[in-house]
Amino acid sequence: MKKTTLLLMTLLSLGGFAQTKSTGEVNLSTNVKATLELNNTTTTAKLTLVGPNDRWFALQFGSFANGQGMMAGTDLVYWNNQTLVDAVHQGEGEVPETDTNNWTLVSNTNNSPSTGLRTIVFTRPFVTGDGNNDFTFNYADTSIDFAWARRSNAGYTINNHGGTNRGYAINAPFTTLGVEDFSLNAAALYPNPSNGNFVVKSKTTLEKINIYTQTGAFVKTVEAKAGATEVEVDANGLSQGVYLVELQNAFEKSWKKVIIN
């Protein structure tokens, strides 16, 4: 009996009963949405993209600050009305260069005409072996950053989309599917980017929130009320840029990123 209990605890600690993590649907804009699932059993990433049905739309994933996505030499994918193209960004104003396509089609759905949207689902191994061209997914990551773009008008020829047709979702958290995550890693921080105050919301208690610059310089501390699971942080007065947010309670710590515009 003791051996069985020990084995069960070991499996749970290794995630033996929860092998899939998901960002849930991330709203990137009014008509571009992304969901990323990581399956540790099959070491496969599943990407669900929703975008306009009459033009190309693109997505990049990784770890980068606001304004640093879609840079030359980085991996991205875009829908060209036929397939999800696997490509490498060549820099502003340049057409991405296609590489070996390691994405496999799962489904392609033209949503109802009233919405004007299409939903595509593709899968890909965590590691493709395609040199430095492809981003490597890591199941241990607790969050991921997205950068997106879309054509400004109808059409599928890659062109300059303009500044209003691109954006970022920084630090989209992964949640383990099938097992509700009550750790600080699952805490949400919004809005992000923020023009002023932002809110930290957790399923477990928050005691203290520390803010640091990207270089590690301490900025400020926000003390939470006893038993609080939601804390509003006053970010007014901070210079524009990326900040590191340390969440603390009596049992654990977790780090998030926030963009102050």
Q: Which architecture, in CATH terms, is 20-175? A: Sandwich (2.60)
pLDDT, averaged in runs of 10, over the chain (261 residues): 38 49 93 94 93 95 76 89 93 85 93 85 92 89 93 92 88 83 85 90 93 94 92 92 94 92 88
Enter the pTM of the model.
Answer: 0.64
Residue position matching structure tokens 């600050």: 65
> Which token pair is 31?
């008509």
pLDDT recorded at residue 19:
83
pLDDT recorded at residue 182:
76
Looking at the chain, the domain(s) classified CATH 2.60.40.3080 span 182-260
Looking at the chain, the domain(s) classified CATH 2.60.40.1210 span 20-175
Q: What is the DSSP string of 135-201?
A: PPP-TT-SEEEEEEEE-SSSB-S-----GGGEEEEEEEEPEETTS---SGGG-EEESSSBSS-EEEE
> Which token pair is 242?
């990326």
CB 238 within 8 A of CB 260: yes
Question: Which fold does the domain 182-260 belong to in CATH?
Answer: Immunoglobulin-like (2.60.40)
pLDDT recorded at residue 206:
95
